[in-house]
Chain A
Amino acid sequence: MDNFWVEKAQKYIQDHNAFKGVSIISYSETPENAIISATVSIGLPSKFIKEGITDIGVKSIEEVRFVFPDQFPLKAPKILLRNDFPRCFPHINPLKFDVNPCICDGDLSELLQQSEWMNGILNQLVDWLEKAASNELLNYDQGWEPMRNDHCSGFMLYDLNEVITAYNSKNSLCLTKEIYFEERKGIIVTDALCDSKKKKTAHAVYCMSPFIIKTYIPNSITTLSNLYRYASSIEISDLKEHVEEIDLEHLNEDKLFVVLSVKRPVKLIGSDCNIEFLNFVIHKSKPRKKNKKRVLPDCKAGMLSHIEELSPALLKRLSGTETKLNETQKIALVGCGSLGSKIGMNLARNGNGPFLCIDDDIFMPHNNARHALTLTWAQNKAELLSLSMFNTSKVLAEAVKGSAFSADFSNSRLIIDTTASLAVKHFLMDQQNLPPIISGGLFGQGRCGILFIENNLKTSRLTDLWAYLYHYSLEKNYIHDVLFTSQRNQAQIGQSCSSQTLIVDDARISLMAAIMSLKIQQIVEKGLPKNGEIMLSKYDDNYSLITEILSVPDSVPVPSPKKRDWQVFLFETVIEQMKESMSKKSPNETGGVLLGTVFLHAKSVVVTAILPAPPDSIEKPYLFVLGTEGLEEQIKSIEKKTNGKVTYLGTWHSHPHGGNASDTDDNTYNKLLFVRNYEPTVCLIVTPQDVLQV
């Protein structure tokens, strides 16, 4: 025992304005404690000032003893009040001889570590006593304080909502249920908490109070007869009948469980429910006759803590998310590698689901470097992930061991692609009628994470998002660097984390996965954005992640009078630019070069920008001739910067007076097609009304 600290504590008590008559320090040997007693003045409500004691029995001067443990000040002193201090408060231990109030919400020892040190505890004690004096300890704003259980005999696992539903559906205030239990070194556990080889059968009786019980009755239950008495005090008068009946039916069982469900005036603290569940185990008495076990009032009873069964609702509550529960449409995870597994587990831990996990790959030793799962073996990744997700959240996760190409997405509400596979990307771009897609990947050796998010109406598709980003890279060097620099001569965009050549640590992938998960969680809660989005996250090597979200304008398909192999899409912003140019030059025609990206597999061309007409162009009413001055250099530079992803697609010109393609227009188109060796070619005509293809 370090006297320095106890003496310092004594000084604090002496200096505190509410404490008087502070004693000298006395010591006890076993256990080794230092004890200081004092009196504390408490303001009483004016009605009780004259008497000096409230109607409940709190005095204006209370005696208090501080018992300092050997580990003080790492451990807080125990606070003891007089033995006849009223016990009808929720924060008082009911059993022991000394009254030991639970004066603060958290751990008193933690309170002691704050800068107020002993003053924190002394202030809190005064506050607690004041609240006791004004009968304010039960703070309905906070919720109902559950019964204090200082002597936990074990843990009982069940789903509260299931029990409440059972009361309602059976329209009864009493239920019985067979459960399992295991006695482990004197501690009782039930159902899924048991070791399956050691569990035994028992029965549980659930009884609900018929009325709302507003009074706090101290828990001093140690025997079955105490429990009967307590039950009748909360208006459950027939507990004895039910217990005896169930006992008679199951004489061989060692234990019997009682769950009292008490309706309270407000929700319990930290819960959405205004029913307090009090759980007890009855240790049945020894048999009087062979093979007979009786539940007798003198049987010992112990209180059990309730453990909420794992459920999406529990995970939702603990994650603080607004996850929608009981969804029927799945979230499809295409790719269960390092990024996919982390995002998938993040979503599962928030209570989301159900899931469809798709991957055709096998978990290999090198996957341990970055994958979310552990304790894995050479098994399909989709199977492993779905199993883990189910274990984590009890939400259905179906595994598809094959490739995404043959998967059935008809029952999915969202596709999350993390494969970084170009083939999968092209498949997803090509397929019509798929649910909205979110596609994410890591770039630049894990320095950059990019998440592509289609919009709710799918008017902003993966092709549009990629085309937009390619064009954006012309303006932003860092995008250009992560997309193109390291892979100038490679066809592949994006890096598969399963690749053994990718050197990046798990933390960096986790960082990107976490930020993507946050965004995806918001989407599953609030819905997809109105416009497509690209989320760009950059790790700055200085422990910060810089994220920007680009909102991508809608693109519209451009109709063509003739049947064409290639579908042409045009950003609305480009149409606006063309129309502005047209009206500026009207009545002359004007035009320029179309820039954008070609998606071969999807047979799509996305026009992302226009280049103004070169200075040698001719602009007259009913004639526009596209010049060439400086054009080649410009196109070369753009092609070089984007590794050919942003390219010359064709031309546009205006018909300020309206009208379809002229013969000249048709001839130009065919000539251009020939010159371009029949590569995708687009010629657009802009009129005051619309945009059409030649």
Chain B
Amino acid sequence: MANSTITFFPVGEKNGGMILIKLNDSFNTTIMIDCSIGDESIGDHCDVNEELRYRLPTESNKRPYVDAFILTHRHEDHLKGFQKHFHLGPLADYKDDDDELKIVIKELWSSHNFWKPSSINYKLCDNAKEFNKEMKRRVKLFEDKKEIQGVGDRAIIIGRDPDGRTNNLENINYNIGDTFTKINNLNISSKFSGYILSPIEQQEDEEDECFTDMNRQSVVFQLTVKQGKYENKLFMAADAECLVWETLWNKHKNNDKKLEYDILLAPHHCSWHSLSYDSQTNDDDPQLCENAKKALSQSKEGAFIVSQSKVIKDADQDPPSEAAKDEYVDVVGEDQFICTNEHPDENKPEPLEFNLTGDGPQKKGVKEKSKLSVAALSSTKEAYPHG
């Protein structure tokens, strides 16, 4: 049987997040975490939309779908192309005659922050507003009908709302520290489980402004994909920063299994701020937060760390930060640290895909494209004058 896979897509000039997990359970469950689909090919080479759609399953009526779309947080770089590529609203309004069919989201996952309106201090991008609207539509259906909704209308809320709006929504609400085994309302515990690590509660001394920051509210989880006797641990760290990691280390240091991983998504596009409270540029001697690093160092044998970011090359840029990369390389080694936009080559980035095998993740080779079609596409990039 073909193994389950996880795919990290290369991202644009402003970083981004988009991950696809395809399980080999009997439902062939497909989970998407965030989306970052721009109109331009990455590095003039990789058409992310095409690469995504090539991997998505389709219904018999040809509609592409994901069983679950999980949004980690509301920044534009994690929602780019959401409105354009996903169907929003009831399925009855689906347009089957569109040139490019919209992707159906069977089940939509979000932190409770979808209720929070846009404001001067909490500015939401258009895609985030549309995401929230869709989430509200689905949650309202549940509230009105008092039952878990069907495909295309179902929502799952992560975390308890501090204003109590998740009260009476227990059937569609997971709290921090919960383990879930249902995707698309189907229990697939023999193949998959997820443990919700964050957004953790407001810490003592933590200012409101810091606590409500979108990155701080990132949904962080550890996913387990079983193959035979092996449990592939995928640590989806989203854009959470140093405080979250230090807190999680203090919380779980006696049970580090909750933080262990075969593949870690380097938090916040390999940002220095995930490993330090200090600024790389403003502080003279920025200090590493050892506890944060420990939280992110629970690697298993042969583990990988993936930086879903633009190419890491400028000492001044952050994210991605070279200094942060050095810390991760220290954990897993040079060969096991992979930047999406450098894979396999920074000049022609391709989706980074792993088989989740019975002996741990296996990085898949990159298929070379037809040289003629590459040539054909490159010919279209500029105007050629003719006399």
Asked if A134 contacts B301 (CB within 8 A), the reply is no
Q: Point out the residue from B1, B359, B367 that lies within 8 Å of A46, measured CB to CB.
A: B359
A115 on interface, CB distance cutoff 8 Å: yes
B369 on interface, CB distance cutoff 8 Å: yes
Asked if A123 contacts B367 (CB within 8 A), the reply is yes
Give Cα A122–Cα B371 distance, bound, in whole angstroms.
13
Asked if A18 contacts B366 (CB within 8 A), the reply is yes
Name the distance in Å between B299's Cβ and chain A's nearest Cβ: 9
Residues of A within 8 A of B303 (CB): 46
Interface residues of B in 356-387 (CB under 8 A from A): 357-373
Stretch in contact with the other chain, from A135-143, A168-176, A534-542? A135-143
Asked if A139 contacts B2 (CB within 8 A), the reply is yes
Asked if A123 contacts B302 (CB within 8 A), the reply is no
A127 on interface, CB distance cutoff 8 Å: yes
Asked if A17 contacts B365 (CB within 8 A), the reply is yes
Asked if A45 contacts B369 (CB within 8 A), the reply is no
Give Cα A114–Cα B368 distance, bound, in whole angstroms.
13
B side interface size, CB within 8 A: 31
Q: Point out the residue from A122, A123, A140 that lies within 8 Å of B1, measured CB to CB.
A: A140
Asked if B364 contacts A130 (CB within 8 A), the reply is yes
Interface residues on chain A, size class? 20 to 34
Give Cα A119–Cα B368 distance, bound, in whole angstroms.
6
Asked if B370 contacts A43 (CB within 8 A), the reply is no
Given contacts A17-B344, A17-B345, A141-B2, contact A45 B371 (CB under 8 A): no
Q: Point out the residue from B304, B359, B366 that lies within 8 Å of A54, measured CB to CB.
A: B359
Give Cα A135–Cα B2 distance, bound, in whole angstroms.
10
Asked if B1 contacts A141 (CB within 8 A), the reply is yes
Asked if A43 contacts B345 (CB within 8 A), the reply is no
A116 on interface, CB distance cutoff 8 Å: yes
Give Cα A134–Cα B301 distance, bound, in whole angstroms.
16
Residues of B within 8 A of A164 (CB): none
- Chain B interface main SS type: mixed
Given contacts A46-B262, A46-B304, A136-B355, contact A115 B363 (CB under 8 A): no
Residues of B within 8 A of A123 (CB): 365, 367-368
B300 on interface, CB distance cutoff 8 Å: yes
Name the distance in Å between A178's Cβ and chain B's nearest Cβ: 42
Residues of A within 8 A of B358 (CB): 45, 134-135
Name the distance in Å between B260's Cβ and chain A's nearest Cβ: 12
Interface residues of B in 262-277 (CB under 8 A from A): 262
Asked if B360 contacts A46 (CB within 8 A), the reply is yes
Which residue of the partner chain A has the closest CB to B374? Answer: A119
Give Cα A122–Cα B370 distance, bound, in whole angstroms.
12
Interface residues of B in 60-99 (CB under 8 A from A): none
Among B355, B357, B366, B371, chain A packs the most CB atoms within 10 A around the CB of B357
Q: Point out the residue from A16, A44, A50, A122 that lies within 8 Å of B362, measured CB to CB.
A: A44
Give Cα A141–Cα B371 distance, bound, in whole angstroms.
32
Which residue of the partner chain B has the closest CB to A124? Answer: B367
B179 on interface, CB distance cutoff 8 Å: no
Asked if B336 contacts A49 (CB within 8 A), the reply is yes
1/0 per residue, CB under 8 A from A, across B121-135: the answer is 000000000000000
Given contacts A45-B362, A46-B302, A140-B1, contact A134 B357 (CB under 8 A): yes
Give Cα A15–Cα B369 distance, bound, in whole angstroms.
11
Given contacts A18-B365, A136-B2, A140-B1, contact A119 B371 (CB under 8 A): yes
Q: Point out the residue from A17, A48, A117, A133 that lies within 8 Å of B371, measured CB to CB.
A: A117
Interface residues of B in 232-265 (CB under 8 A from A): 262
1/0 per residue, CB under 8 A from A, across B190-231: the answer is 000000000000000000000000000000000000000010
Residues of A within 8 A of B371 (CB): 12, 15, 117, 119
Name the distance in Å between B262's Cβ and chain A's nearest Cβ: 6
Which residue of the partner chain A has the closest CB to B263? Answer: A46
B3 on interface, CB distance cutoff 8 Å: yes
Name the distance in Å between A113's Cβ and chain B's nearest Cβ: 12
Asked if A133 contacts B362 (CB within 8 A), the reply is yes
Which residue of the partner chain A has the closest CB to B300? Answer: A46
Residues of A within 8 A of B1 (CB): 136, 139-141
Give Cα A46–Cα B300 distance, bound, in whole angstroms.
9
Give Cα A141–Cα B4 distance, bound, in whole angstroms.
13
Given contacts A49-B336, A115-B373, contact A43 B2 (CB under 8 A): no
A126 on interface, CB distance cutoff 8 Å: yes
Give Cα A140–Cα B304 distance, bound, in whole angstroms.
28
Give Cα A50–Cα B336 distance, bound, in whole angstroms.
11
A42 on interface, CB distance cutoff 8 Å: yes
A47 on interface, CB distance cutoff 8 Å: yes
Interface residues of A in 465-515 (CB under 8 A from B): none
Given contacts A134-B3, A136-B355, contact A47 B373 (CB under 8 A): no
Which residue of the partner chain A has the closest CB to B361? Answer: A46
Give Cα A116–Cα B302 distance, bound, in whole angstroms.
33
Given contacts A115-B372, A136-B3, contact A126 B304 (CB under 8 A): no
Asked if B301 contacts A47 (CB within 8 A), the reply is yes
Residues of A within 8 A of B230 (CB): 47
Give Cα A140–Cα B1 distance, bound, in whole angstroms.
5
Top 9 nearest A-B pairs by Cβ distance? A46-B302, A46-B360, A45-B359, A43-B363, A49-B302, A126-B365, A134-B357, A47-B359, A119-B368
Listed A/B pairs (15) with beta-carbon separation below 8 Å: A12-B371, A17-B345, A17-B365, A44-B362, A46-B301, A46-B360, A46-B361, A47-B230, A48-B359, A49-B302, A54-B359, A119-B368, A130-B355, A136-B3, A139-B2
Binding site for A on B (CB under 8 A): 1-3, 230, 262, 300-304, 336, 344-345, 355, 357-373
